Structure 1
Amino acid sequence: MLTWILLIVVLAAFVVLGTWFWGRVFGRAEVLPPIEDQQKLIENNRESIATGDLDSVRFEVVPRGYRPEQVDDVIAHLSWQIEQAHMRIESLSLPEKD
């Protein structure tokens, strides 16, 4: 009986030491370092959308995906651009008055 208790204690010690070692070697699973100021990131995303460079749009990674306010801002800005394009198309398609 004493050997079973000793075996469980040794196994628990190995688990604790193994977890500590794994964390030291491979880190604590930080995905990326924090991105610059959120307002600056939102402004950079707006500039990228305005110039049509959608490849340079960036979002900060959080535990369950991307930061929602950054994604919502990009979607709102794209929607605004689409609405502006529709208004421009409508104004150009109206017959000219003499």
Structure 2
Amino acid sequence: MVTIGLYVIGVAVLVALLFALVWFVFGRGEEMPPIEKGTTLTRLPRAGITGDDVRTVVFQQVFRGYKASEVDWTLEKLAREIDELRAVVHDLAARDELDAGKADTGPMRPLGAPGEHDARH
């Protein structure tokens, strides 16, 4: 009799564990609304895009491959970031050239060259 009681309790515990596992994995069964049109998992930061950001981009797959609008958006974002970085590089290079031009004082003449006044005499 004790064996049957332990068997029933064991089966009940096993069923409860299986029920809990299924409930946590699949949820409570409520209906979820469809995803709004235009919602995407494709994300990039507003500025300062790094190589790791690009490597982790995820595109939604549709019947014939990736969703073209997400790929186009990502490429446009990357192109804009590259243009901004090139503009910064161009500005810094122009500033360096301007600074180098201001520092130019002409050719240097050696001390004691003819025509120079020697302050010691």
- Normalising to structure 1: TM-score of the pair? 0.51
RMSD of equivalent CA atoms: 2.6
Q: CA deviation at 1:89?
A: 0.8
Q: Which has the higher contact order (CA 8 A, sep 6+)?
A: 1
Instruction: State which structure, 1 or 2, has the greater radius of gyration over its C-alpha atoms.
Output: 2
The alpha carbon displacement at 1:40 in A equals: 4.8
8 Å CA contact 2:59–2:71 kept in 1: the answer is: yes
Taking a change above 3 Å as real, the CA distance of residues 51 and 78 of structure 1, as seen in their structure-2 partners, is same
- What residue is the counterpart of 1:19 in the other structure? none
**Residue 62 of structure 1 aligns with which residue?**
62
What secondary structure does 1:50 align onto? coil
Q: Secondary structure at the match of 1:41?
A: coil
**What SS does the aligned partner of 2:80 have?**
helix
Quote the offset at 1:85 in angstroms: 1.0
Query: Structure 2: where are the runs of 5+ without partners?
Result: 1-34, 103-121
* 1:84 alignment counterpart: 84
Identical pairs, percent? 25
1:96 equivalent to 2:94? Answer: no
Unaligned runs of 5+ in 1: 1-35
* CA distance in 2: counterparts of 1:47 and 1:41, whole angstroms: 13
One-letter amino acid matched to 1:56: T
More displaced stretch, 50-59 vs 60-69: 50-59
Where do 4+ consecutive residues of structure 1 move more than 4 Å?
A: none
Aligned residues between the structures: 61
The residue aligned with 2:15 is none
